[in-house]
Amino acid sequence: MSASGIDFERLAGSGIRKLRAYDPGHDLVALRRRFGVGGLAELGSNENPYGPSPRVREAILAALDDLHRYPDPLGGDLKRILAAKHGVASAQLLLGNGSHELLMQFAQVFAGPGASVAASQYGFAVYALAAQASGADFIAAPAFPRRHAMARGHDLDAIADAIAPSTRLVYLANPNNPTGTWYGAAAFAAFMGKVPENTLVVVDEAYAELADAPDYASAIPLIGRYPNLIVTRTFSKAYALAALRIGYAVAHAELIAVMERVRESFNVNAMGLAAAEAAMGDAEHLRAGCAANIERRDALARALRDRGHGVYPSQTNFLLVEFGPRSVALESELVERGVVLRPMAGYGLPECLRITVGDAAENARLLQALDGVRNGP
């Protein structure tokens, strides 16, 4: 019996009983205390090393005078800016406390006990969590094999084949985390042609701003054609606002209206709203940050390949890299040198580590640490 004398496990809903909490990686607060400011290269969470537009800081300082007020529960100003950007109506937008919140709520609203939710085997970890928390069954469709141009990426044919009569929701990530891989517009059009209209498709575009492959395309322009299509975006990555927790979904207005029923009225805070509006007004900052990331991503990939490591193709701000059976030990040794990466054993990829592309100094530090570990302490 437990210390409390109460079996909380049994009191929890059936979906929750089988769940393991999302693994956020290392205790960074403790590591920052140990290595000091600037002593740590934080390359484990796909954050943007360049930070947000300077306009964000000004907007937040201005918002400080109204901390006693609730934020705008409708997020009207931000929605108007987003609607204009994407060519949709404000009623087609749903704001979230990060897109993570919305990804969880899609399953809560549209799946549940008796339903199933499908995603690719190496899709973002939140999808399985969302399915199971809702009480639905999770179906993992096989990914492309390791020896494939899109190694371990989404095989849209396999995902379509995995859709069962009970499947209410499919989660795709384009580009995907943790693989970094993507799929092209033609493959997606063929996929949508096979999905039954009562099965909703969520396309998580957390890294869309960082994708520049010629065959990459956002799914947002297809929403008018497919009422069962939902696209999510975030301000956490390219816009560098991870701390403020702000994301959004674009879909048919009738679908959004159903989602609004479970949204907490003040789920997006006033600082987040002000910051996102300001960030959207600085297109040049966004462009420069993405361009720098793409350049450093390709340079880091080359440097790692030169050292003999397998690097997966990436359209994101991170690289999935094969280090072989030494991966787990290597990751610990790097932490001892103040370089934090993300282990991949939880994804069933124990031979890989996920490396966020940092700024020039952080990437140099990573390579130096890797060379140091290789040559012994």
Ligand X SMILES: *Cc1c(COP(=O)(O)O)cnc(C)c1O
| Shortest Cβ 21–ligand X spacing (Å) | 15
| Shortest Cβ 279–ligand X spacing (Å) | 14
State yes or no: residue 167 binds ligand X (CB under 6 A).
no
Is 34:27 a contact under the CB 8 Å cutoff?
no
* Peptide bond preceding 165 in cis form (omega within 30 of 0): no
| Shortest Cβ 126–ligand X spacing (Å) | 7
State yes or no: residue 312 binds ligand X (CB under 6 A).
no
Residue reference for tokens 């290269």: 41
State yes or no: residue 314 binds ligand X (CB under 6 A).
no
Looking at the DSSP assignment, which residues form a beta bridge with residue 170?
Answer: 118, 201
- Using CB under 6 A as the binding rule, the residues of this chain from 128 to 147 that contact ligand X are none
Instruction: Please tell me what DSSP assigns to residue 281.
Output: T
State yes or no: residue 177 binds ligand X (CB under 6 A).
yes
Count other Cβ atoms within 10 Å, centred on residue 189. 15
Residue nearest to ligand X (CB): 98
State yes or no: residue 47 binds ligand X (CB under 6 A).
no
Site map 215..254 versus ligand X, x via CB under 6 A:
-------------------x-xx----x----x-------
State yes or no: residue 273 binds ligand X (CB under 6 A).
no
| Shortest Cβ 134–ligand X spacing (Å) | 18
Only one of the segments 9-17, 98-106, 253-261, 347-355 lies at the binding site for ligand X (rule: CB under 6 A); that segment is 98-106
| Shortest Cβ 11–ligand X spacing (Å) | 28
| Shortest Cβ 46–ligand X spacing (Å) | 6
Q: Which is nearer to ligand X, 234 or 363 (CB)?
A: 234
Residue reference for tokens 């997006």: 268
| Shortest Cβ 241–ligand X spacing (Å) | 9
Q: Which is nearer to ligand X, 124 or 144 (CB)?
A: 124
Residue reference for tokens 């498709």: 201
| Shortest Cβ 127–ligand X spacing (Å) | 9
Q: Which is nearer to ligand X, 97 or 134 (CB)?
A: 97
| Shortest Cβ 277–ligand X spacing (Å) | 17
Is 172:123 a contact under the CB 8 Å cutoff?
yes
Q: From CA 83, how far away is CA 114, in angstroms rounded?
A: 35
Q: Which is nearer to ligand X, 15 or 98 (CB)?
A: 98
Residue 319, phi then psi, degrees to nearest 5: -125, 140
* Peptide bond preceding 178 in cis form (omega within 30 of 0): yes
Written as one string, the DSSP assignment of 231-276 is EEEESSSTT--GGG--EEEE--HHHHHHHTTTS-TT-S-HHHHHHH
> Hey, which bits of the chain come out as E strands?
41-42, 93-96, 116-120, 137-141, 167-173, 200-204, 229-234, 247-250, 310-311, 318-322, 339-340, 342-343, 352-356
Q: Which is nearer to ligand X, 259 or 369 (CB)?
A: 259
> 152: left (phi > 0), else alpha (psi -120 to 50), else beta?
left
Half-sphere exposure of 88 (CA within 13 A, CB side): 24
State yes or no: residue 173 binds ligand X (CB under 6 A).
yes
Q: Which of 48, 53, 99, 132 binds ligand X (CB under 6 A)?
A: 99
Count other Cβ atoms within 10 Å, centred on residue 278. 22
Rounded to 10 degrees, the C-alpha dihedral 300/350/135/254 comes to 20
- Using CB under 6 A as the binding rule, the residues of this chain from 78 to 97 that contact ligand X are none
| Shortest Cβ 376–ligand X spacing (Å) | 35
Q: Which of 15, 49, 98, 135 binds ligand X (CB under 6 A)?
A: 98
Looking at the DSSP assignment, which residues form a beta bridge with residue 94?
Answer: 249
How many residues in the shown chain lie near ligand X by CB under 6 A?
A: 14
Q: From CA 260, how far away is CA 373, in angstroms rounded?
A: 51
Q: Which of 204, 209, 277, 362 binds ligand X (CB under 6 A)?
A: 204
- The site for ligand X (CB under 6 A) is made up of 46, 98-100, 124, 173, 177, 204, 206, 234, 236-237, 242, 247
